[in-house]
Amino acid sequence: MGNFFLSSGSKRISTNSPNDLRMIRRQRHICALLVGSTLALSPTTSFAQNIIGDALGQLIAPAVGPVLERAAGEIVVEGVRRGYENRNLFPRPGRRQPTYQPAPQPTYQPQPTYQPAPQPAITYPSQGLPYPEPMPAPQAPSVSPPENEINTRPLVSPNLSPTEIALTHVVSSGPQFNSEVIRTEAVEITDQMDRAALQYFDGAASDAAIASLRDDYRSLLSMPRPENARAALLVNHNDGLETVSDRQGIASILKAADAAERVASLTSNSGHEMTMQSIDELRSELTKVRAPIISGDQLAVLAGRIKNIRNIAVLSEIARVLGVERRDDLFARVAVAAKKSAAPAEAIVGLLGVALGAEENIVTDMQLPSGNPAVVLYNPESNPAPISFVCDDSLQLTLAPGDLVPLDQEFVVAFQTGNGGVKRYTIKNGMYRWAVDDSGWDLRQKTTAQLILDAGQVPVAFHYLLNGQPQVIEPGSVVEHTMEVPPRIDFDLGRGDGSTKSTLVTPGHYVVGVNSETAGWDLHRATQTESAVMATETTTSIANEHWRKSVIKAQRSLLADPAEAKVDALLDSIQ
């Protein structure tokens, strides 16, 4: 065995004797125990101590391991090994531990001192009287509808694009509808002229020539006839009519009837130029008709009806051209032309495939937040005048008939009754409407709201939210809602960009249509259409009413499917 020396200061020990050897081993045990305990209990994060940890783990532990295991030293060895492997106790070389950085402390910002705004003297806009002295506030109505806050609201389902629907319709179905309307109206104009001519012939039947013309005329109308058959009949009776004083007037009305029948024979393949030429020829022949063959009022109605079919032809061509060119301003241009021509709403639906809402009836976009307002005040359309009032003695408001205002908290409303009295109410959480009777103006609570949504002129399903709840109206359907809170409606405009509209509506009837300005879906208040023509109306109004009826008749004719009716009849015959 060679010599092994353990240096400790200047002392030198020989390992040749057994006693000396035992002493050296004892000193090694003590040294290992001290080093291992120090490393396990006192971890460090310095780079130099990382190196020491590596050296001890690689040199000391293998040297003393066998001895320590026999002398219960496995605890020290395990401690050294785990201390080396644990990153928290012995960081690996080249990896630094994070350093704690204290969070920055906010600096104090002085807040501005609140200064209440001076309150001006309040006057009523409608009455022009000074604001009255405060009066004891009567209790709010006893009925309190449930809370109407919308805490969460789902996304609005997208609607199909009305522009795409219309651009397709005006090219594929628009010309057919235009042709059917013109043909229907021209047939009725022809019949009106024939009736006027026969009525005159009956009155002048004492003249043998006119009586003969009348009989042949009746026979002609009862059978299929070639083009210009009336003019040919007139040539056959030319000699007999030489002595008749109204010969020129008779010839003019018969030729005008022939011209109207030529317009009635036009089809969707006739083309715009031929259609316009035929209608203008009819207008020219009508200007030659004079009394007493036909009265002045009858001539005015006929002239108005012919003008209307000319307008429908022009409208159809405008829509067709814009559709072929895929123009985004289709709705705006057609709306302008429709207003200028006084076309009925049914005619525009037939041309575009969707209804255009009247600009004055479009509901207001309120851009409401997620929750419903607590209070809605509205002045029904049936009221005769606007109403002015003051909220919380500071906010002046005036509501015209049909207008509403949403409020988001409890308010004290003060107003003059109109007969010298003043009323004050504390209102909250619900709908309130203004009413006027013999005792003057008053404010009354509306506990339920009836809401009708009409999608009769919409060819696709219409999606919307009603007070936060998803709803859908099937194509051509009408739905009715009854609720105890202010009706709030949200819907997608159908423009493909995610744009939506939020609005509060008063109880009533609303129609789904297209806003010509936004080219998106919208709601507009329904208008009452006169069902009968009054005797006091003008000849233009009468002509427009005939036009509206002709449009409806044409629509029904296009909806009728002979093949479908035949199939239904065959299905019914199956036993």
Whether 396 has a pLDDT exceeding 60, the answer reads yes
Q: What is the pLDDT averaged over residues 323-350?
A: 92
Token duo for residue 447: 């506990």
Cβ atoms < 10 Å from Cβ of 572: 7
Whether 47 has a pLDDT exceeding 70, the answer reads no
pLDDT tens readout for residues 208-249:
888 999 999 999 999 999 999 999 998 888 888 887 878 888
Q: What is the pLDDT averaged over residues 357-384?
A: 81
**pLDDT at residue number 147:** 55
pLDDT tens readout for residues 152-167:
556 889 999 999 999 9
**pLDDT at residue number 501:** 92
**pLDDT at residue number 316:** 93
Helix (H) or strand (E) run with residue 275 in it: helix 272-286
End-to-end CA distance of the chain: 121
Nearest CA to 36 out of 66, 8, 74 is that of: 74
Write out the DSSP string of 90-156: SPPTT-PPPPP-PPPPPPP-PPPPP-PPPPPPPB-TTT-PBPPPP-PPPPPPS--PPP---S--PPP
Q: Report CA-CA distances (Å) from 24 to 15, 33, 72, 152, 347.
A: 8, 14, 19, 82, 117
Cβ-Cβ contacts under 8 Å for 330 (sequence gap 6 or more): 163, 166, 167, 170, 319, 322, 323, 352, 519
pLDDT tens readout for residues 447-456:
788 899 999 9
Whether 94 has a pLDDT exceeding 50, the answer reads no
pLDDT tens readout for residues 78-87:
554 554 454 4
Angle at 526 between CA 317 and CA 353, to 5 degrees: 30
Pairing of strands 449-454, 508-515: parallel
Higher pLDDT, 96 or 384: 384
Q: What is the pLDDT averaged over residues 366-388?
A: 81
d(Cα 231, Cα 227) in Å, to the nearest integer?
9
Whether 402 has a pLDDT exceeding 90, the answer reads no
Question: What is the C-alpha radius of gyration for the chain, rounded to an integer number of angstroms?
Answer: 47
d(Cα 12, Cα 476) in Å, to the nearest integer?
113
Q: What is the pLDDT averaged over residues 374-384?
A: 86
Q: Report CA-CA distances (Å) from 514 to 47, 159, 161, 222, 495.
A: 76, 12, 10, 46, 11
What distance lies between CA 237 and its chain's CA centroid? 64
d(Cα 487, Cα 503) in Å, to the nearest integer?
9
pLDDT tens readout for residues 118-129:
554 444 444 444
Q: What is the pLDDT averaged over residues 315-332?
A: 94
**pLDDT at residue number 314:** 95
pLDDT tens readout for residues 11-42:
444 444 555 545 555 555 555 444 455 444 44
What is the pLDDT confidence band of residue 264, given thresholds at 50, 70 and 90? very high
Whether 353 has a pLDDT exceeding 50, the answer reads yes
**pLDDT at residue number 563:** 57
- The SS3 call for residue 62 is helix
For the ranges 180-194, 413-427, 435-449, 550-564, the lowest mean pLDDT is seen at 550-564
Whether 494 has a pLDDT exceeding 70, the answer reads yes
- The SS3 call for residue 425 is strand
With beta carbons less than 8 A apart as the criterion, state whether 352 and 553 touch: no
d(Cα 284, Cα 258) in Å, to the nearest integer?
12
What is the pLDDT confidence band of residue 67, given thresholds at 50, 70 and 90? very low
Whether 112 has a pLDDT exceeding 50, the answer reads no
With beta carbons less than 8 A apart as the criterion, state whether 341 and 115 touch: no
With beta carbons less than 8 A apart as the criterion, state whether 233 and 214 touch: no
Mean pLDDT across the chain: 77
10 Å CB burial of residue 365 (0-12, 13-18, 19+) is middle
Looking at residue 422, what DSSP letter applies?
A: E
**pLDDT at residue number 148:** 53
Whether 507 has a pLDDT exceeding 60, the answer reads yes
Q: How much of the chain, in percent, has pLDDT values that exceed 70?
A: 68
d(Cα 5, Cα 141) in Å, to the nearest integer?
108
For the ranges 110-114, 148-152, 281-285, the lowest mean pLDDT is seen at 110-114
Strands (E) located in 274-401? 375-378, 387-391, 395-399
**pLDDT at residue number 132:** 45
**pLDDT at residue number 215:** 93
d(Cα 184, Cα 188) in Å, to the nearest integer?
7
d(Cα 573, Cα 433) in Å, to the nearest integer?
57
Helix (H) or strand (E) run with residue 435 in it: strand 430-437
Whether 472 has a pLDDT exceeding 90, the answer reads yes
* Pure H helices in 151-241: 162-172, 174-203, 208-221, 229-236
